[in-house]
Amino acid sequence: MSSYDKYQTPLSTRYASQQMMTIFSARERASTWRQLWVWLAEAEKELGLPIPDEALEQMRAHVTVTDKAFDVAREYEAKFRHDVMAHVHAYGEDAPAAAGHIHLGATSCYVTDNADLIFQQKALDLILPKLAKVIKNLHGFALQYKDMPTLGFTHYQPAQLITVGKRAAQWIQELMMDLQDIETVRERLQFRGAQGTTGSQATFLELFDGDADKIVKLNEILCKKAGFPSTYPISTQTYTRKVDLRVANAVCALGATAQRICGDIRHLANLKMMEEPFSKTQIGSSAMAYKRNPMMSERITALGRKLARLPADFTATFENQWFERTLDDSAIRRMDIPEMFLLADSILLALDNVTDGLVIYPNVIRARLNQELPFMATESILMKLAAHGVSRQDAHEEIRVLSHQASDVVKNQGGANDLLERVKKTEFFKPVWGEIDSLVDPKLFIGNCPKIVEDYCNGEVAQALAKYKSSLDKASTAQLSI
């Protein structure tokens, strides 16, 4: 049967990277189980159990699961209806000298749970540099446009001016929060190790003739081999599913951030002030050839919507773990953990593309400023008149009348904002006629935006990115070679 006759997730066929797909592939999973069995046998031998060298040699030689081994495991699973035991027997066929030593003292969760922790560790290590790359893109963009005035919006209505760079700095700050949260869960990730069927370590205590110190040493060896600092102090049959929820809360928040950023970009595209990259041969619409739809930002929004809502699944799975373990976590975690990371990976790949080539249209930005600046300058006009001894209240009424007349031209007649021309023709404002044009320089209205951007980007952001310098340099080199 062709792959075209089976459902395949779009995450693997369209959006995610091969690196992330490999982490959660069937071969990686089964081979990691075998590696865990090798580590366990090596550690047990080191601590005095009689495991032959030949057994270890055969186990090491067959860590990578072949297609044939998968077929053998499938036959065993049909017989046993137990996937871990199916792979134990398949491994025993590949390494017959080790058949009686594989999985010694362990429960199924020794391989399934520890493997899941290894996969999450690898996946976190894969997405963190990608997130840093997106931040770096926006870091450069924010500094480049730190002093370019643009309309601020509150309630999606024109408000006080900010700068193009200041808005990008807000996006950076939200991504920085995601970076910090994901770094934290990565640093705090621990191993389950070898803990027995209910976390009592009873089987290992028996194997080591009651020597509890050897169990401590066993887990220290396993942690070192797997690259974890330590094991969780308390285990049941599984590591607590609170761990998955903790990771999900950090990783999935990226989905909300991505939606928020791309929502801004999509609105700005509608206003023709900013666009995502658009290739020369790209088709925006199958019917309307002139269109330049923000397709990538819309894709990110869709993927982000899915990712941001996954913590509800992890919450329910954690809530419903009774006592020392129930199996209702198994099927959903097989989907949710890979999907979480494939979604995050897909979003970051697309965000990198968008933020590495944002296009702005200064003339459109200035034209929209010109529509709103006359209204924003009215307060300055009032202050100038007061300095000439004119009553503030009288001036306010004069400005109010002219402002409504100008608004009528803009809203009902579709014309340009002519408020300043009206002010220049009204005798009441004669004392400040010579100052009117100087009052509508956009840079007078951006406040401290350039310094805010510089201080943030050259301080906290630069410090955070310094940790990823090596991977960011590699990413830049790779881009240049394309």
CA distance 397 to 387: 17
Burial readout 364-398 (b: 16 or more C-beta within 10 A, e: otherwise): ebbebbeebbbbbbbebbbebbeeeebeeeebeeb
CA distance 368 to 380: 20
Pair 238, 109: CB distance under 8 Å: yes
Pair 315, 395: CB distance under 8 Å: no
CA distance 129 to 162: 30
Among the listed residues 181, 174, 193, the one whose alpha carbon sits nearest the alpha carbon of residue 124: 181
Q: Which two tokens stand for residue 135?
A: 């931040």
- Cβ-in-10-Å burial (0-12, 13-18, 19+) of 154 comes to exposed
Instruction: For residue 310, give the H/E element and its range.
Output: none
Burial readout 16-35 (b: 16 or more C-beta within 10 A, e: otherwise): bbeebbebbeeebbbbbbbb
State whether residue 161 is helix, strand or coil: strand
Amino acid of residue 293: N
CA distance 369 to 380: 16
Angle between helix axes 26-46 and 212-226 (nearest 10 degrees) is 140
Among the listed residues 54, 104, 108, the one whose alpha carbon sits nearest the alpha carbon of residue 86: 108
Amino acid of residue 439: L
Pair 49, 207: CB distance under 8 Å: yes
Tokens 């285990």 correspond to: 235
380 labelled catalytic: no
* DSSP bridge partners of 158: 153
Tokens 């928020």 correspond to: 260
Pair 65, 28: CB distance under 8 Å: no
Quick one: DSSP state of residue 285?
-
285 labelled catalytic: yes
Catalytically annotated residue among 230, 285, 407, 476: 285
Catalytically annotated residue among 12, 108, 139, 155: 155
State whether residue 414 is helix, strand or coil: coil
Instruction: For residue 18, give the H/E element and its range.
Output: helix 18-23
Q: Which residues are catalytic?
A: 155, 285
